[in-house]
């Protein structure tokens, strides 16, 4: 695999990470509500989930879906159901007050944030389709294991850094003060968007 092809594959993964989806939405929501540190733990979970999907693609995920399309259908329905469930929880808690007006609410533990990021990424069929149908086409047959490991490392960094940046932007003091004042509207908006993404995933 040439250096140019390697860079092209990484840039392709960056474009996929930047495109709006459940992971970016969740990073923004956690950054707003729980701060940047929790957002970083969430971003690491999202990065780990992307690596799992990419590794699965490298080891024949696309072929598995070709031979058993019902698995992809089940993945889409299950992932959509999880995203809608998260959206319902967010909607129901929209009226819960922020614990302290001048301090961020007590954030979840780093492990809980990591787990939420991982589950959000794994529940989203979008990276499964991207890595199984698009990304895999950029990796030539016979690519050395060390190159594939480097690709996976870059995918982890791209996903983690981008979603950590989103969490950081939404965790700024100005953003947080807006959130405190408009929590019920913002949480319902995020919840509604997450539910719509879930419905779109199930329907496409």
Reduced to 3 states (helix: H, G, I; strand: E, B; else coil), residue 102 is coil
Structure token pair of residue 125: 């069929």
Q: Are 120 and 39 in contact (CB under 8 A)?
A: no
Task: Give the whole-angstrom CA distance, residue 192 versus residue 113.
Answer: 21
DSSP class per residue in 135-175: GGGGS-TT--HHHHHHHHHHHHHHHHHHHHHHHHHHHSHHH
Tens place of pLDDT per residue across the chain (204 aa)? 677 778 877 877 777 787 767 888 889 888 888 888 999 999 999 999 999 988 887 776 555 556 666 766 776 676 667 667 767 776 776 666 554 433 445 668 889 999 999 988 888 777 777 776 666 666 776 778 788 889 899 999 999 999 999 899 888 877 767 766 666 776 677 677 767 766 766 676
Compute the distance between CA of residue 125 and CA of residue 73 in angstroms, rounded to an integer.
Answer: 9
């Amino acid at each position: 695999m040439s250096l140019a092809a390697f860079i092209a594959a990484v840039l392709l993964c960056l474009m996929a990470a930047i495109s709006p989806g459940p992971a970016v939405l969740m990073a923004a929501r956690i950054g707003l509500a729980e701060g940047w540190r929790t957002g970083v733990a969430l971003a690491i979970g999202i990065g780990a989930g992307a690596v799992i999907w990419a590794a699965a693609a490298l080891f024949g995920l696309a072929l598995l879906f070709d031979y058993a399309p019902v698995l992809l259908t089940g993945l889409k329905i299950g992932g959509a159901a999880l995203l809608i469930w998260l959206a319902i929880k967010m909607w129901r808690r929209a009226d819960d007050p922020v614990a302290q007006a001048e301090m961020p609410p007590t954030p979840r533990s780093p492990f809980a944030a990591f787990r939420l990021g991982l589950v959000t990424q794994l529940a989203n069929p979008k990276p499964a389709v991207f890595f199984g149908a698009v990304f895999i086409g950029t990796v030539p047959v016979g690519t050395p294991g060390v190159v594939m490991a480097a690709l996976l490392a870059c995918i982890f960094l791209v996903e983690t850094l981008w979603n950590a940046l989103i969490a950081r932007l939404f965790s700024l003091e100005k953003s947080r003060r807006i959130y405190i004042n408009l929590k019920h509207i913002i949480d319902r908006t995020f919840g509604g968007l997450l539910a719509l993404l879930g419905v779109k995933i199930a329907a496409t």
